[in-house]
Amino acid sequence: MGNQSFTPAYAAAARDEEEVAALVNDASERGLGVRVAGARHSFTPIVETDGLLLDLSALRGVVGTDAARKRATALSGTLIRDFYEPLWSQGLALKNQGDIDTQQIAGAVATATHGSGIRNTCFSGVVRGVRLVTATGEIREIDESEPELLRAAQVAIGMLGVMTQLELEVTDAYRLTEQIDLWPWEEVLERWDELVYGHRHFGFFWLPTEESAALYNLSGHDQQMADKCYVKIYDDAAPDQPDSAVVGRRTDRCYRIYPMVYDPNFHELEYFVPLELGPDALSAMRDLMLRSLPDSVYPLEVRTVGPDDAYLSPNYKTATTVISVSGTPGTDYWDYLRSVDALLSEFSARVHWGKLHFLTPERLHALYPEAEAFIKVRRELDPTGVFLNAHLRELFA
């Protein structure tokens, strides 16, 4: 996303799993590390390597569906948007998704990318099987018959091997209705429980200034927007409810409702606090952001996510309130983001692995109860650390 740069020893684009295996084995024998480029959506240096940088964009496509079992199988470079039509044609859909659909599915899974709504997990929580190329170039299949390994593989940040194929649990095709409005901050917090528990999807952007909305293309309102919440609510459409293209009140297939259009004009930090701590954490964040202007001019994005069992998931065993803040590219935003980190640390905040964070080994083990279990699996599958880099080695070696 424009804030990370490095020079690998070499880069290669694999055309299939066999080429992935040969490339990984060659790099490993030469004592080089291996990382996968993905769709370049992360703000952290998780892709950085001085070894082999792999491009898997050719491994793309939904290669199987099972409507009875509610399963879909896809290659690792498949974009989220690539699932739409193949699933719909079989009466299926992704169970949930976020508002950006240009990520490769393997990268979205590896970093616990998510949508909103406590009835559904992040992408990682619906992974039911993976194929990995290990450090020796061998193929390892992990599925529900090995639950402990699967829980490690669901959120692995690319540290267990190169993922070449995934099986996801999907659901019956569904349509959504949209409600987008500007609400006062106080009303959102007063109605917090109703909004969180009463809707399939609830999220909002709090706008600290009049200039904030345009930074995320949140237009369409002719009223004062400072200190307002741009609230997004999605619910299941009734079977007899017709499609609608009315802005802010659309009804359509789910995958046509979820995506938003963003300009790549921000660097983002995203932390997850236990759901019940959300209102207090948000009130504290609003106070901090008002004190931090103009560094804090970008909207504060708020969503919720349901719990899952993945060892490194920020939603491990708990529903969360997701709090996202951004720094302006080209400015020194680090003091502001460190203040955000310090504040949200008081609320037991876990991190989004693909976004800016200040996690230390001590905080990792305090916040992620199964961190040691993950590290044990990582060492078993990659004992020489082929899939580590400097950023990940500090936390997971």
Decide if pLDDT at 261 tops 90: no
Would the pTM of this model clear 0.85, i.e. be above it?
yes
Mean pLDDT across the stretch 52-66? Answer: 96
CA 274 – CA 367 distance, rounded (Å): 11
Mean pLDDT across the stretch 271-295? Answer: 97
Decide if pLDDT at 194 tops 90: yes
Decide if pLDDT at 45 tops 90: no
pLDDT at res. 9 = 84
Adjacent-strand bridge partners of 168: 72, 127
Decide if pLDDT at 144 tops 70: yes
pLDDT at res. 188 = 97
- Please give the domain boundaries of the chain with CATH numbers for all domains: 175-357 (3.30.70.2520)
Q: Helix axis angle, 147-154 relative to 371-381, nearest 10°? A: 100
- Residue 330's pLDDT band (cuts 50, 70, 90): confident
pLDDT at res. 66 = 97
365 token code pair: 């083990």
Mean pLDDT across the stretch 300-324? Answer: 97
Decide if pLDDT at 278 tops 60: yes
Q: For residue 5, what are the contacts with CB-CB under 8 A and spacing of at least 6? A: none
Q: What are phi and psi of 379, to 5 degrees?
A: -65, -35
Decide if pLDDT at 100 tops 60: yes
**Are the CB atoms for 235 and 156 separated by under 8 Å?**
no
Choice between 13 and 42, residue whose per-residue pLDDT is larger: 13
Share the mean pLDDT of the chain: 94
Q: Is the peptide bond before 294 cis (omega within 30 degrees of 0)?
A: yes
